């Protein structure tokens, strides 16, 4: 459950950086994995993982400027409108090859994400004007992406007394390869996990 904390968008601020969207969410995600039995020697261990989740963004009301045309973002007309930010669906899977005794693992993953369009409605103006507002905020979005990742961990070494501190470092590269109304830039991320 996500509570409407933070500062919601303000139509009267020319430069507005909200820290929240001002509405409630509720969602759930299921994650599962299977670790194949270890093989003798230095062969890598294989793990399969999958997840699926859905997030509902509940409808609410918010004050917005109502555009007069498809390129009018600074309309003088304001109204408290009904807003539905759209629901979010995500699912994916991965296969990881690694050898915990050597500390390294490598993985390949796939992720699918979908978000329904933002919808606004009101009573003061024509339906077309609320549709312009919906298109400004966010049309329906969908993306398929692939991820390569490499992980180094000292956890097993620490358990065996061969390393002084347990940590895990991960580097990942993700590339969207299909989608609608989304960016196509690659994403590189790094993560360091320290255990206390």
Judged against a pLDDT cut of 90, whether residue 56 lies above it is answered with yes
- pLDDT tens profile 157-168: 898 888 899 999
Judged against a pLDDT cut of 70, whether residue 136 lies above it is answered with yes
Asked if 75 and 63 touch (Cβ cutoff 8 Å), the reply is no
Instruction: Give the residues across from 151 on adjacent strands.
Output: 105, 170
* Distance between CA atoms of residues 179 and 110, nearest Å: 13
- pLDDT tens profile 120-132: 999 999 999 998 8
Which residue did the predictor score with more confidence, 41 or 131?
131
How large a percentage of the chain has pLDDT more than 90?
54
Average pLDDT of the segment spanning 35-61:
88
Q: To which residue do tokens 């001002």 refer?
A: 22
Reported pTM: 0.78
Burial class (CB within 10 angstroms; exposed 0-12, middle 13-18, buried 19+) of 81: buried
Half-sphere exposure of 61 (CA within 13 A, CB side): 6
Which of 104-108, 125-129, 135-139, 158-162 has the weakest average pLDDT? 135-139
* Distance between CA atoms of residues 2 and 23, nearest Å: 8
Judged against a pLDDT cut of 80, whether residue 31 lies above it is answered with yes
Judged against a pLDDT cut of 70, whether residue 99 lies above it is answered with yes
- State the CB neighbour count (10 A cutoff) for residue 190: 8
Judged against a pLDDT cut of 90, whether residue 177 lies above it is answered with yes
Which residue did the predictor score with more confidence, 11 or 83?
83
Asked if 100 and 153 touch (Cβ cutoff 8 Å), the reply is yes
What is the residue-averaged pLDDT of the chain? Answer: 89
* Distance between CA atoms of residues 42 and 100, nearest Å: 10
DSSP, res 8: P
Average pLDDT of the segment spanning 84-105:
89
Which of 23-32, 63-72, 85-94 has the weakest average pLDDT? 63-72
Asked if 68 and 75 touch (Cβ cutoff 8 Å), the reply is yes
Cα 13 to chain centroid, rounded: 27
């Amino acid at each position: 459950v996500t509570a409407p904390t933070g500062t919601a968008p303000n139509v009267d601020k020319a430069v507005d950086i909200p820290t929240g969207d001002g509405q409630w969410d509720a969602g759930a995600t299921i994650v599962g994995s299977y670790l194949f039995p270890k093989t003798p020697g230095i062969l890598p261990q294989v793990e399969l993982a999958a997840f699926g989740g859905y997030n509902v963004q509940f409808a609410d009301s918010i004050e917005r400027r109502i555009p007069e045309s498809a390129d009018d973002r600074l309309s003088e007309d304001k109204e408290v409108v009904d807003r539905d930010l759209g629901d979010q669906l995500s699912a994916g899977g991965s296969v990881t090859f690694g050898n915990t005794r050597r500390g390294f693992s490598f993985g390949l993953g796939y992720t699918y994400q979908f978000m329904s369009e933002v919808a606004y409605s009101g009573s003061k103006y024509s339906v077309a004007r609320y549709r312009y507002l919906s298109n400004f905020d966010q049309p329906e979005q969908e993306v398929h992406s692939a991820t390569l990742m490499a992980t180094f961990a000292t956890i097993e070494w620490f358990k065996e007394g061969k390393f002084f501190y347990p940590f895990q470092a991960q580097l990942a590269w993700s590339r969207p390869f299909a989608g609608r109304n989304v960016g196509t830039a690659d994403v590189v991320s790094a993560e360091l996990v320290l255990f206390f």
